[in-house]
Structure 1
Amino acid sequence: MEPHGRGAAPGGVLVSAVLPAGGSGERLGGATPKQFCAVQGRPLVSYAVRAMERISWISDIVVVVSPENIETMKTIIEKYGHKRVTVVEGGITRHRSIFNGLKVFAENEFSSHLLQKPEVVIIHDAVRPFVEEDIVSKVVMAAKEHGAAGAIRPLVSTVIASAADGCLDHSLERARYRASEMPQAFLFDIIYEAYQQCTDYDLDYGTECLHLALKYCKTNAKLVEGTADLWKVTYKRDLYAAESIIKDNLSQQVCVITNVKETLAQVGFLLPESLKSQIKVEAISVSLSKNDSCLQNIISGQCYNFVCVNDKRWAIQETQELVDVLEKSNIPVLYPVVLILVHLDIPENNSFSIGMEDLTTIKKFARETKKKNILAYGLLIQYKDPLLLQETVNSAAAVIMALIKDRNPELIGQLLVA
């Protein structure tokens, strides 16, 4: 999910991207345009930028926003560490905004810093956050060969036409038609010439870039079958769907960290085994301070969930070492990280009480880590009956999975019992 080092584009061509992000989001409802709505604490447009940014062979990313949102967009770029991004003032319509984005590569008077003109330019909506490199590469290669290309998807519903009286006139044969999606890609000279020739009517009322290439440059676009994740956030319910997808992507792996004490050996083995049926597990069975390189490798492998098992009183100091490593990695800047402090209690009798000091310590730690986008929770495993240990560990694993999948910031600092 992170950007790689710079590499060669498909076919060795110079490729850049233009992301129109100037819409008002009227269909979404609310005062905030959809591209700036938060999803897991981060603006939607940031996900689309990152999707392009992580593709090493895209040279420049131009984000086109309305004049009143230019400073907001610049703040987003700085906060989330986006690279190779230029912010451009948009026009009053989608096509005028895209045209402004293209001008940055071709007209000195439009930008104080003229970007290198690409051979192929990608156009992708800022509210389509889940595009993968594979489909982008296919569209770029098709555009290099045919002049223009775009992703398509099968129609979900049959398209019908209504008569003047509001009754059915006719319906289209659904199998013959496709939904036009993004990304689209063009030889830069073709799409730029098309926009230069556009009528005001096209610039004000048109929506389809592929149509402009056909109408003004006689370029028939190659259509590339897209994937199901190319959908566009349009309505409020789409934001919830986007959040669900992101949570699912973040819940693919967990790192379980235990120390080497004998009292933890059994739980340190059983807990990862119980979790393995639901999630990929990396287990570390040594002190954090002695295992920095291994931990770094796990973090760099895009792990966003950590479980620290200890028989000390919450071992806050040791867990802070993990927080420090995570903070240095910048991983929490982009996505919320789940950190679960598991305390193994082996009481000498059948009673065990949690003091206010314990609860205060956990809550204070959680409040501090939340500022770093690390969501900390407490979990107590009571080791009373060895015969019931497996059942208890399974219960703990279920709680851990629920916390990882839900990633609820309102529950941080809570102490749960398995």
Structure 2
Amino acid sequence: MAHQAHALPWQTIADHFKFVYKNRKYNDRTNLYPCFKPGQGKQLQHFARVFARVMGHASAQERKNYPDELIPPEDDEIFIPDSSLKRIAKTVKYYKTLRQKNIISDDERKLPCWMECFDALRLSWPTCGVRDTMELFKTLILYGEMEPLLRLATHAHVRLPDLYSYPLGGGIEDGYTDVKNSALIAYICLNMFFIKPELHDPTSRAHKLDEMKQKFGLSYTEQMFDYRNTSSYQKLLTHCTHTGWGTEWGVCALPHREFFGIDRHMITTPYWSDLAKSRIGTGRVSQLFNAPYRFWYVPTASDVSAALAILTTRVPTELALQILEHADYTAKRRIQVAHDPLHADNVEELKKYLGYCWKVLVRVDMLVKASGHWIDWQYEVTEVIYDLWGVSYPKMSTTVDDIWYKGRKEGEVDRARNRRTFI
């Protein structure tokens, strides 16, 4: 069952898309394609509206977990507590690993450091210190350490919307909007495939292939009829887990890489590059991996435990732990069956992951509202559905330039864009 199946009409949108292997109409790309049934546009738009309503309710409920009145941090106050720092220490070490200073200093936990960050956003390319602050901001969201950020939002001179989105050029988004983008793409894409068992369950697949052969004379193999061949799944994977060579930033990809088992530098071709666009949906998912990593094994927690058990038969436990740490043999994959998140043995981890993505979206919405702004979730969902499974012909949507848009505008956190509506 899809996540939030009682509240979100997943089956409604799933019924409007069908799997096509190497579709000749669309550059031989494998994907789910719209069926253009009567009422398609209205039902897709209905899903987006329901999503926005459910998100609003969930965000309001989440806000009740924090004090109604929050006090803004003082200049000399360490407003990020030690308990939060302890939880996020591993992630902080990751994005500071290429420098000697790989811990959060007391100054970075005080207001003046954050005010410097806001002032520096006027620069075309923020300094390392500013980007570290931005990564810390994202990390706190990912771990659910929201009270320090909610307190920050109450400060009279803090403009959190300035941190929401600031592209650095070349398709790179450095604002915390990409925390939302990655979680939303993963949430919608995997839920869609989850309720299409013929694309991941062997029994359902065999039945579907037999049915297609009898009705239409189509002879797909089991290897062809697989969700992992689709451009939408491959787009999800590259967007959510991509890291560039030599970069220490990109903390928003970490929870997704940990779930899928994508190690650092396995996917370095940016999802927005022409190379990625030319590859996605045209072959096996392994073609997205850099050559040295195509047969790379990423361990799970059980793998690490097994290795430790073997080592401790020969050396002391302390030394065994040092060996594993030196070899970087640590748990970096949550799903038990690698590169197949919808495999039956991965269902429990998949449910946890979808639940986590939803929580991240709720946290982002709550934080944006705390700063007096709002996210147009109907637009966000519409755009993700179109980006994953939309086609330009036959026409399935219309766009209205931001200048001519007559809808609600005041306080919207991201205003500069076209508005898409399904037809």
Same fold (TM over 0.5): no
Report the structure, 1 or 2, having the larger strand content.
1
Compute the TM-score of the two structures, normalised by the length of structure 2: 0.21
Q: Greater RCO between the two (CA within 8 Å, min separation 6)?
A: 2
Report the structure, 1 or 2, having the larger helix content.
2
Compute the TM-score of the two structures, normalised by the length of structure 1: 0.21
